[in-house]
Structure 1
Amino acid sequence: MRPAVSDLPDGLRPLTPEEAQTRRKRSLAIALTLGALVILFFVLTIAKLGPQVLQRPL
């Protein structure tokens, strides 16, 4: 449900459907990029530690 224009703070207006779709696509792209970076950093960390990390004494 979209808020009425009078319910919004000064200087804001409701988004058009095109603007909302563009915002969703941008948010999805940012989320996927962030997820890819997390996976990349994890893989690089494991690769840098090497296989010896699994054979350490407890």
Structure 2
Amino acid sequence: MSLRKEHEIHNRRKGRNVGVGLLLGGFVVLVLALTMVKVTSTGFSFPETQGTE
């Protein structure tokens, strides 16, 4: 139990921080999912290296 009541601005900042954190987490999950789909697809192949002549 806190001795002082939190100021209104702290509540607003906390809400904004949670929102930014969720967006950042969603972006990371999206990039991870796209990477996994690309790597595990059957058409994935490494680029051909050109031999020296």
TM-score (norm 1): 0.63
Q: Partner amino acid for 2:30?
A: I
Alignment of 1:48 with 2:34, yes or no, is no
2:46 aligned partner: none
Unaligned runs of 5+ in 2: 44-53
Deviation, structure 1 residue 14: 2.7
Counterpart pick for 1:21 among 12, 27, 36 = 12
Aligned structure 1 segments of 4 or more residues deviating by more than 4 angstroms: none
Q: Which has the higher contact order (CA 8 A, sep 6+)?
A: 1
Q: State which structure, 1 or 2, has the greater radius of gyration over its C-alpha atoms.
A: 2
What is the aligned-residue RMSD (CA, Å)? 1.6
How many residues are treated as equivalent by the alignment? 42
Q: Partner amino acid for 2:8?
A: P
Q: Share of identical aligned residues, percent?
A: 10
Q: Partner amino acid for 2:25?
A: L
